[in-house]
Amino acid sequence: MTNSETIKKVWFITGSSRGLGRNLTESVLANGDNVVAAARDTTQLKELLTAYPEQLYPVQLDVTNKEQIHQAVGRAIDHFGRIDVLVNNAGFGITGATEGFTDEQVRSQLETNLYAPIEITRAVLPYMRKNRSGRILQISSVGGRVGHIGLSIYQAAKFGLSGFSEALAKEVAHLGIYVTSVEPGGFRTGWAGDSMTYAQQIEGYEIVDQRIDMFKSGDFIPMGDPDKAAGVMIELVEHPQPPVHLILGSEAISILKHADAVRTEELEQWMPVSVSTDHADAVNFLETEQGKALLKKG
């Protein structure tokens, strides 16, 4: 097949006007594919639309609005005929002591970073299922695998997204749909800058205040390059067997390796207590036919 005959993929990218979503949108367009660029403010995409009038289709989307989600997905299908790659990227960070967050801050964090990608995924899945193909990239975080001081609510959403993605990947693989939870460490996208919000500071949580001060000072310089991350994701959707979890950045790798070692040590230390709760007539579940079958299926 020649380059001129190559079928362009159709990407649906949320949060496409800034941060990692913007880098990815620009890279996908430069690579020759089509993009449904979903953003709260599509005027920020004018420059890209001028450069790629045939490839770029901006759609206004507040990801917390269920009606808008289904309208945006429907418009994307009407315009390009399909969605090959869904990237749930839209989101924001929030830092503070757990008891310092307002109800609105907790709600908005979960709605944007967890409920929204679940609903958008549910809206796109019927089209991918019909085509028996598709790639879904959920932009989670290494904070969806490891908890950190001051990020409890943000990481509640990201842990949920990573878990949702892992279960979904097992559910839809036989349909030709592959799901990857992309879990970056710190990247130079403004996440800890303009995109960061904060809880009211509470007396006694100086350990949290130190993290807030670090973010607000501007001294926090992430190691990750968003253009390189975009390149990896473009290659990822071509891979015949993509990972369910993909950690991005050496910082994130170090954090996860340390966390895994601590968890393994804790598991071994407390294993006698764990197994002591089995019923007296219980047998090792993994040695049963049912257990073996479940392990094989994942």
Residues linked to residue 95 through DSSP beta bridges, in sequence order: 198
The tokens for 213 are 């001060």
Cα R_g (the chain), whole angstroms: 21
Distance CA 102, CA 202 (A): 12
How far out from the chain centre does Cα 156 lie?
Answer: 13
Tell me the CA distances in angstroms from 182 to 37, 57, 159, 242, 252, one per residue in order.
19, 24, 12, 11, 11
Q: For residue 161, what are the CA distances in angstroms to 87, 98, 123, 124, 297?
A: 13, 19, 16, 16, 21
Q: Are 66 and 171 contacting, i.e. CB atoms less than 8 angstroms apart?
A: no
Q: What is the rounded CA–CA span in Å between residue 285 and residue 168?
A: 24
Contact indicator for 61, 14 with CB cutoff of 8 Å? yes
Count of CB atoms situated within 10 Å of the CB of 201 = 13
Separation CA 14–CA 61 (nearest Å): 8
Exposed e or buried b for every residue in 27-57, given b needs 16+ CB within 10 A?
A: bbbeeebbbbbbbbebeebeebbeebeebbb
Would you please indicate which residues are annotated as catalytic (active-site) residues? 140, 154, 158
